[in-house]
A and B are shown apart, each in its own frame.
Chain A
Amino acid sequence: QVQLVESGGGVVKPGGSLRLSCAASGFSFSLYYMTWVRQAPGKGLEWIAHISSSGSIMSHADSVKGRFTISRDNAKNSLYLQMNSLRVEDTAVYYCARAEHSYPSDSWGQGTLVTVSS
């Protein structure tokens, strides 16, 4: 069955960097768009980045544009989120999810917690 497993979360100081990974299995990864969504403690869902199946098209939310970069490696069935210049307000659980061009996210990982604190 479809499985998405995030990793790479942890505690980092403001201004620091982290790279999140999402390992995909149980489906043809290279055929699907992928997305990152985050949820700050006690808050709602926030879409932050989206990448096409080939990786040629990427989109980032204004809140992370210029600091975060989504990427993928179809040979490794993996999705990534490079997070630089981290801020306290980036503290959240980060989920990866699969999607299609005309379909929303139907499968999600369990999430990985990123805490930005001095």
Chain B
Amino acid sequence: DIQMTQSPSTLSASVGDRVIITCRASQSIDYWLAWYQQKPGKAPDLLIYKASRLESGVPSRFNGSGSGTEFTLTISSLQPDDFATYYCQQYNSYSRTFGQGTRLEIK
């Protein structure tokens, strides 16, 4: 199975900051990568698909980039609602593995 590695595991930031989360695949997945946001006790919400395409209704401060094995999620100006856990997921194969998650907390 394809392994997905996210970094950092935890990120402390303030409202208005720009943050970057990285996701690495153990082999090339082209651009078949998604990013999700999850808040405690809730199901994940899809933010980005195909590495860089914004899901409908997602604010434009979320930006995804990358291809092959290296991907990033950038949040350009953190809002209070953005403090949550973020996961990447590859869907290049039938085994749709997730990264281990990045918890974004208020500094």
A interface, CB within 8 angstroms of B: 35, 37, 44-47, 50, 57, 59, 61-62, 95, 97, 99, 102-106, 108-111
B interface, CB within 8 angstroms of A: 1, 32, 34, 36, 38, 43-44, 46, 49, 55, 85, 87, 89, 91, 93-101
Task: Give the residues in chain A near B87, CB-CB below 8 Å.
Answer: 44-45
- A-B interface, 10 closest residue pairs, ranked by CB to CB distance from nearest: A59-B94, A104-B34, A108-B43, A44-B101, A45-B98, A47-B96, A106-B46, A44-B100, A104-B91, A50-B94
The answer to whether A103 and B49 have CB atoms under 8 Å apart is yes
CA–CA, A109 and B42, complex, Å? 9
CB < 8 Å neighbour of B43 from A35, A59, A61, A111: A111
Instruction: Write the chain A residue with the least CB distance to B92.
Output: A102
Identify whether the interface residues of B are mostly helix, strand, loop, or mixed.
Answer: loop
The answer to whether B44 and A45 have CB atoms under 8 Å apart is yes
Instruction: Write the chain A residue with the least CB distance to B32.
Output: A102
The answer to whether A62 and B43 have CB atoms under 8 Å apart is no
The answer to whether B98 and A105 have CB atoms under 8 Å apart is no
The answer to whether B101 and A45 have CB atoms under 8 Å apart is yes
